[in-house]
Amino acid sequence: MSEDLLTLTSLPLFPLGTVLFPAGVLPLRVFEVRYLDMIGKCHRAGAPFGIVALAQGHEVRTPGAPQEQLQPVGTLAHVTALEQPQPGLLLVQCRGEQRFRIDRPSQLKHGLWIADVTLLPHDVALGIPDDLQHAARALRQVHASLRVQTPDAPLPEGSAADYDDCAWVANRWCELLPLPPTTKQRLMSLDNPLMRLELVADMLSKTGIGAGEG
């Protein structure tokens, strides 16, 4: 069974109240028994697990809490750093990889979710059109400012090519903007990266970010 948990036919899942985007960086504080063993096994094997947003329920199981329900699309995660400051606690940093669609989820006796999943195609690489370049320029500025103000913050490393890629720029804004998880889930689930960036640019214009540019 433990070997099967490391395959995509029985992908172990980590339900959260947030959404992980491809190439995103996500720190996790893991203390529930159902996840400690799973994260340790995935880390040792170099295998992925799935981050999936909760449609209902809470990250930590409590008596009387509503049954967990999962969103249909999640993102593969790979552990990039792991510390165990004390027994029963793991501090984990993971990186988002490919998106997947959940086909058959099931919950094991000790509470761990696993699922047979179908990997979704990687976002097509699309250059950013002129009328959306302001979103990329503003993202560069925000990232540069965050690296100065909070140098320890886990930010994705972006190349010049990344800042001219619709999906990458849209995904990074989705991580930064204070959007409801349901909105982030809808944006992450979109298969068209240009549409994702257009919707993000709309939200930016409403907040005044990048206003007056382009």
Q: What is the spatial distance between Cα 213 and Cα 133, in angstroms, rounded to a whole number?
A: 9
Cα angle 186-189-193, degrees, rounded to a multiple of 5: 105
| 3-state SS class at 19 | coil
pLDDT at residue 105 above 50?
A: yes
Provide the domain limits for residue 157. 130-207
**CATH code of 169's domain:** 1.10.4060.10
Q: Is residue 53 domain-shared with residue 139, that is, in the same domain?
A: no
Residue 213 lies in a domain: no
How are beta strands 69-70 and 113-119 bridged, if at all? Answer: unpaired
Residue 167 lies in a domain: yes
* Predicted local distance difference test score (pLDDT) of residue 61: 64
Q: Is residue 109 domain-shared with residue 136, that is, in the same domain?
A: no
| Number of structural domains in the chain | 2
Average pLDDT over residues 39-47: 92
Residue 60 lies in a domain: yes
Q: What is the spatial distance between Cα 54 and Cα 38, in angstroms, rounded to a whole number?
A: 19
Q: Is residue 98 domain-shared with residue 38, that is, in the same domain?
A: yes
Residue 212 lies in a domain: no
Average pLDDT, the chain: 89
Q: Is residue 35 domain-shared with residue 105, that is, in the same domain?
A: yes
Q: Is residue 172 domain-shared with residue 86, that is, in the same domain?
A: no
* Predicted local distance difference test score (pLDDT) of residue 3: 38
Q: Is residue 147 domain-shared with residue 201, that is, in the same domain?
A: yes
Q: Is the pTM of this model over 0.85?
A: yes
pLDDT at residue 31 above 50?
A: yes
Query: For residue 122, which of 98, 150, 106, 158 has the smallest C-alpha distance?
Result: 98
Q: What are the residues whose beta carbons fall under 8 Å from the beta carbon of 24, sequence distance 6 or more?
A: 75, 95, 96, 156, 171, 172, 175
Judge contact between 11 and 52, C-beta under 8 A. no
- β-strand partners of 11: 115
Chosen domain end from 91, 119, 147: 119
Q: Is residue 67 domain-shared with residue 48, that is, in the same domain?
A: yes
Q: Is residue 41 domain-shared with residue 107, that is, in the same domain?
A: yes
Highest mean pLDDT (candidates 57-71, 126-140, 141-155)? 126-140
pLDDT at residue 51 above 60?
A: yes
Q: CB-based burial of residue 66 (10 Å sphere; 0-12 exposed, 13-18 middle, 19+ buried)?
A: exposed
Residue 124 lies in a domain: no
Residue 214 lies in a domain: no
Residue 169 lies in a domain: yes
* Predicted local distance difference test score (pLDDT) of residue 53: 96
Q: Is residue 39 domain-shared with residue 69, that is, in the same domain?
A: yes
Average pLDDT over residues 26-43: 91
Q: Is residue 189 domain-shared with residue 97, that is, in the same domain?
A: no
pLDDT at residue 12 above 90?
A: yes
Cα angle 205-191-113, degrees, rounded to a multiple of 5: 110
Q: Is residue 89 domain-shared with residue 134, that is, in the same domain?
A: no
* Predicted local distance difference test score (pLDDT) of residue 68: 85
Phi and psi at residue 188, to the nearest 5°: -65, -35
Q: Is residue 68 domain-shared with residue 103, that is, in the same domain?
A: yes
pLDDT digits (tens, 9 = 90+) for 140-173: 999 999 988 888 877 888 888 999 999 999 999 9
Q: What is the spatial distance between Cα 95 and Cα 164, in angstroms, rounded to a whole number?
A: 21
Chosen domain end from 92, 119, 146: 119
Residue with tokens 């969103």: 71
Percent of the chain residues past pLDDT 90, beyond the cut: 74
- β-strand partners of 54: 70
pLDDT at residue 76 above 80?
A: yes
Chosen domain end from 119, 154, 177: 119
